[in-house]
Structure 1
Amino acid sequence: MSQPPLFSPARHGAQRDRMAGLPASADFLAPIIAETLLDRLAMVTRTFERTLLIGAHDAALIANLRGLGTELTLFEAGPSLASRVGATVGEVDGIDMAFGRFDLIVWPGGLDSVNDVPGALVRLRALLAPDGLLLGAFVGDGSLPRLRRAMMADGVRSIARLHPQIDLAAMGNLLQRTGFALPVVDVDTLTVRYGDLFGLVRDLRAAGLSSRLFPAPPPLTREETARVAAAFAAEADPDGRIAETFRLIHFSGWAPHPDQPQPARRGSGTASLAEALKSKS
């Protein structure tokens, strides 16, 4: 019997459509992630003729990618947004396009809330032509520690409300297991200071990071909301503002190709580590 989904595709689509209706300036994370991805892409000494962008809400990123001269295809979970920008609509773990169609896939957020992460990566690997690149980022393990503690305040029902998080090591293993060559995973830590809980909640909604758990947990009561807000405020610095942490995990992997650098075969070394250490003593 199949496992029930952890996340709701319907809630995901609705969140994406609501997010796209906000001013571009409301989502502070989108330009940060886009800049880091474009910087990493600029370090790659080759061109990409056919690109798939997963997520179509960031008009600036779309314009930047098209400015590189690539043929850009958009894939988007929000049905209204997808219709407006001419994107294919769907969830990444159900993406169905021709194998080997793209040289580059860019995924600026969302991997952490896919029901079948290995399945999504396998599908994306199949969409890449040989020596094609997958490049992405998401909010990962260790993010929002103060909010997570506040949600466990006394008098608040013990119900899962926040998404589980993927860590650095797990992401590296996932890329290897799903057939990507030369995987690279690293993390940037971003600290944002808030005046209260509700400023953080606004940012999470604007960035599409609010809960899409399935089934949806019951909403907090007014009393529970007050308890969570008080617990969050108790973490404030002396100036009264609360520093919250976002850990942005960046990842990349290549579709295998014979001309790529290969790791040396195990046992093929000609120098002895033990002898080298002796020579240093």
Structure 2
Amino acid sequence: MSDPALVFDRRLLRQRRSKACAGMAKAGFLHEEVAARLLERLGDINRPFDSAVALGWDAPHQPLPARHSFYADLSPGRAARMPGPALACDEEWLPLRDDSLSLVISNLALHWVNDLPGTLIQINRALRPDGLFLAAMLGGETLMDLRRALMDAELDLCGGVRPRVSPMADLRDMGGLLQRAGFAMPVVDSDLIEISYGDPLALLHDLRAMGESNVLYDRQKSLWRRDVLMEAMRLYQSRHSNMDGRITARFQILFLTGWAPGPGQPRPKQPGSATRRLADALGSREISIKNSRDP
């Protein structure tokens, strides 16, 4: 890898997303569920959207509620599954005209982007003033139990851990990234989606079928050693199975909301501009606390 900023192999990601097209009707339940939650949040916003683009939508039965809706995906095959006009494009190089959209929405695509701040800036530029950006991406707590089991097994049997697990965004960092990209009123929150499996191997099968497996540039190119994989599955099953012997896979979904700056938006007041004391508003007594460094 010549460029240290390149974490994910986007070419491999395109190949795996394309290969997964055939099975998405069955394996795409997570994308469908997250798309439904995005649309529910969108429905809480009392305004129409006349022009919208969805990135990595993967929910062919859930069209966007906009007069002119377009869809995009890194994989041409995935783009062809969308519920409207679509194109294949790279989220790192978006072919979107500045000030052209009232809505950009993304469903589980941005966690594979190398330059996430750069992509967010492109999205902000594509939005008209007061346009909305709404996205869902996998967060850092996703599949934590599986990741620990894989690392523990490899460390025990191989004496070290190789890069096989993709890094994911942290909830606390995303608000700052939205602000850096120029979005107004940024909000980041998360949901936890739990899915039950008969055994951990079924979970690994679903991840491959979704096109959500490891695409790190510095990944170990060889397959998992069978003994390491079986030990990891044993650890996962023994640590996290319920009374019925089933395991639960947990996906943390980060929801990002931001607005392109526009007239009439609420703005924070300047420090010192308040006309009333907070203590008066709360009906309480103000106590001055002296800093320990003060004389």
Whether TM exceeds 0.5 here: the answer is yes
Is 1:196 the counterpart of 2:199? The answer is yes
Contact 2:131 2:259 in 1 (8 A): yes
Partner of 2:291: none
Aligned equivalents of 2:66 and 2:257: distance in 1?
21
Aligned equivalents of 1:84 and 1:32: distance in 2?
16
**Shift of residue 177, structure 1, vs aligned partner:** 0.9
Contact 2:57 2:106 in 1 (8 A): no
Contact 2:199 2:246 in 1 (8 A): yes
* Pick aligned residue for 1:227 from 231, 238, 245: 231
**Shift of residue 98, structure 1, vs aligned partner:** 1.1
In structure 2, do the counterparts of structure 1 residues 6 and 149 end up closer, same or farther at CA, with 3 Å as the change threshold? same
Q: How many residues align structurally?
A: 276
Alignment of 1:111-150 (within 5 A): 111-150=110-149
**Shift of residue 96, structure 1, vs aligned partner:** 2.8
Letter of the 2:229 counterpart: T
Alignment of 1:1-281 (within 5 A): 2-3=3-4, 5-61=6-62, 64-65=63-64, 68-82=65-79, 87-152=86-151, 153=153, 154-156=156-158, 157-217=160-220, 218-235=222-239, 236-274=241-279, 276-278=283-285
3-state SS in 2 of match to 1:263: coil
Per-residue CA deviation, residues 210-248 of structure 1 (Å, 9 max, x unaligned), is 111114423201122111111111122232112221111
Aligned equivalents of 1:24 and 1:267: distance in 2?
56
3-state SS in 2 of match to 1:14: helix
**Shift of residue 249, structure 1, vs aligned partner:** 0.9
Contact 1:33 1:137 in 2 (8 A): yes
Letter of the 1:265 counterpart: Q
Question: Identity rate of aligned residues, in percent?
Answer: 33
**Shift of residue 45, structure 1, vs aligned partner:** 1.1
Asked which structure has the greater CA Rg, the reply is 2
Per-residue CA deviation, residues 99-135 of structure 1 (Å, 9 max, x unaligned), is 1111100101121121000011011111111111011
Letter of the 2:59 counterpart: D
3-state SS in 2 of match to 1:22: helix
Gaps spanning 5+ residues in structure 2: where?
A: 288-295
Contact 1:56 1:87 in 2 (8 A): no
Partner of 2:290: none
* C-alpha RMSD of matched pairs (Å): 2.1
Aligned equivalents of 1:38 and 1:270: distance in 2?
40
Greater shift, 237-246 or 174-183, is seen at: 237-246
Per-residue CA deviation, residues 45-101 of structure 1 (Å, 9 max, x unaligned), is 11111101101532112xx21xx3421122210133446765332221211321111
Aligned equivalents of 1:41 and 1:7: distance in 2?
30
Aligned equivalents of 1:51 and 1:226: distance in 2?
45
Gaps spanning 5+ residues in structure 1: where?
A: none
